[in-house]
Structure 1
Amino acid sequence: MPNFLPINTILVPQGAEYKAVCRGLSGVTGSIPTVVAIPVGMKPLLKYLHASLVNGQFLAPKSRVVIMGICGSLSDRYKVGDIVLYQDCVYQGKQQECDRTFTAQLHSSLSQKVSLVKSLTSDRVIWSAAEKRRLGETLAADVVDMEGFTALEFFNTAGVSVAMLRVVSDDCQHNIPDLTSAINSDGSLNPLPLAMRMLRQPLAATRLIRGSLTALKVLEQVTRNLTGYCRTK
C-alpha cells in the first residue's frame, strides 16, 4: 500500500456507532488512530470541539481526522448498508468541503465498494420519507447526518485535513421514528423519550433497528479495512 500520511484520529458519535468502530479496531496490531466519541447534533458537537481546541487536541501539524458513523439516505441510489465517502456538506445554503486529496486517497485504498456523495447536515432528525426525498431533490444531496457541516467548518478553519466515511442506516422509502426529542442538549440520548418514540411507531422502530444493526456491522468491517491505511508503512 502507498505510504500515505496516516490517520491520526477517528471521531464517531457516542454510543453504538462508537462501539462499532472500536470493535473494528480491536485486535489490530501496530499503529492505530485515536478513537474519540463525540456528542450527537450540531450545537453539542461545536461546544465539544471548542473545548478540545483549548487543549490543542486534533490540531497537531499535518493532522488527519476521519469522521465516521451512520447516516440516512436522501436518494433511491443509496440503500441500507451502503458505504459513503463525503465530498462536502451543506447546511442552510452554506457549504463546507472535505479534504479532496485525503478523500481521494481513502477512496482508492478501501477494498469495499464506496460511493462519493454530497451530504446535508440537519439540526433535527429527518424522519419522514417524503421529506427525505424532497430534501434530496431540492438540495442535490445524497445523504443526511447531524454533525458533518459543524465538524468540517471547525476543522477547515483550523487547517486540519478531514474526510467523512459513513454507512447508510435508513433509506428514503420508509419513515423512521422522530427521535429529535430524545436527544439531550449535551448530545446524549435520553432512554425514556427514546423508548416512548419507538413504542408509538413500532413498525418504523423495527425498520430503524434492523437498518441500524446492518449499518453498524458494515461500519465495524470498514473500520477494520481502514487499519491498513492507518499504519505507517
Structure 2
Amino acid sequence: MPNFLPINTILVPQGAEYKAVCRGLSGVTGSIPKVAAIPVGMKPLLKYLQASPENGQLMVPKSRVLIMGICGSLSDRYRVGDIVLYQDCIYQGNLLECDRTFTAQLHSCISEKVSLVKSLTSDRIIWSAAEKLRLGEILAADVVDMEGFTALEFFNAAKVSVAMLRVVSDDCQHDIPDLTPAINSDGSLNPFPLAMAMLRQPLAATRLIRGSLTALKMLEQVTNMLFSDNRLK
C-alpha cells in the first residue's frame, strides 16, 4: 500500500449524512480528519465556502478535501447501496475533474467495493425516474448530486485536491418525492414542506426512506473502513 498524504477535511451534507460519517469515524483510533457539515445545494454551498471561518485550513494549496454523502443513480448499472467514487462532475455543459492521484489512492483502498463514475451536479432534486434516465443517456452521467461541481470549482481555483465518495440512495427505475420546495435558501431542510412532499407521494416516500437508510448505513461502513487499520495513514 502506498503512503498517503493526509486528508485534511471531510465535507458532508448536513443532517443524516453528516451523522453517518461521524458514526463511521467514532470507533477509529488515532488521528482523523476534521469533519464539517455543509449545506445542501450549489448556491448555499458556495456561500458557505466563501464565508466559512474554517477556510484558512481548507484553502492551503496541496491540502486534500474528501467530499462524502449520498447521491441518486442515473443508470441501471448503479443501485441503492452502491459505493461510487467520482472521476468528474458536469454542470450545464462544463466538466471538472476530481484530483486523479487522490482518487486513485482512494480507489486502491476499496477497489473491490467501489465503482468509478461520472457525475452530474443539479441545482434541484431530480425526482422523476424518466428524467433520471434521460439525463443519464444525454449527458453520459452515472449519478447526480447537488454539490459536486460547486465544490470542485471552488477548490480547484485554490489548488486544493478534491475527491468525492458517495453512496447511491435512490435508483433510476422509480420516482422519489420532489423535495426541492423543502430546501431553504440556506441549504437546510424545512420540515413542513418536507412532510407534505412525503405525504403527497407515500409509496415514493417509503422507497426513498428505505433507500436512504440503506445508503446511510453503507456510508457509515465505508467511512469506518477507509480510516481504520491505517488505510489512509
TM-score, L = length of structure 2: 0.96
Partner of 2:181: 181
- Aligned mates of 2:90, 2:55 — CA distance in 1: 29
CA contact (8 A) 2:49 2:55 kept: no
CA contact (8 A) 2:109 2:231 kept: no
Q: Which moved more, 1:121-130 or 1:3-12?
A: 3-12
Partner of 2:3: 3
Q: Which moved more, 1:64-73 or 1:46-55?
A: 46-55
Displacement of 1:52 = 2.7
Displacement of 1:145 = 0.2
Partner of 2:60: 60
Gaps of 5+ in 2: none
Partner of 1:43: 43
Partner of 2:93: 93
2:110 counterpart of 1:110: yes
What's the RMSD between the two structures over aligned residues? 1.3
Partner of 1:140: 140
Gaps of 5+ in 1: none
Aligned partner of residue 35 in structure 2, secondary structure: strand
Displacement of 1:6 = 1.6
Displacement of 1:12 = 0.2
CA contact (8 A) 1:30 1:231 kept: no
- Aligned mates of 2:40, 2:152 — CA distance in 1: 15
- Aligned mates of 1:30, 1:22 — CA distance in 2: 15
CA contact (8 A) 1:65 1:163 kept: yes
- Aligned mates of 2:157, 2:61 — CA distance in 1: 14
TM-score, L = length of structure 1: 0.96
Displacement of 1:2 = 2.5
Aligned partner of residue 125 in structure 2, secondary structure: coil
- Aligned mates of 1:46, 1:57 — CA distance in 2: 17
- Aligned mates of 1:166, 1:3 — CA distance in 2: 23
Partner of 1:193: 193
CA contact (8 A) 1:75 1:143 kept: yes
Displacement of 1:162 = 0.3
Partner of 1:124: 124
Number of aligned residue pairs: 232
- Aligned mates of 1:73, 1:111 — CA distance in 2: 19
Paired-residue identity, %: 85
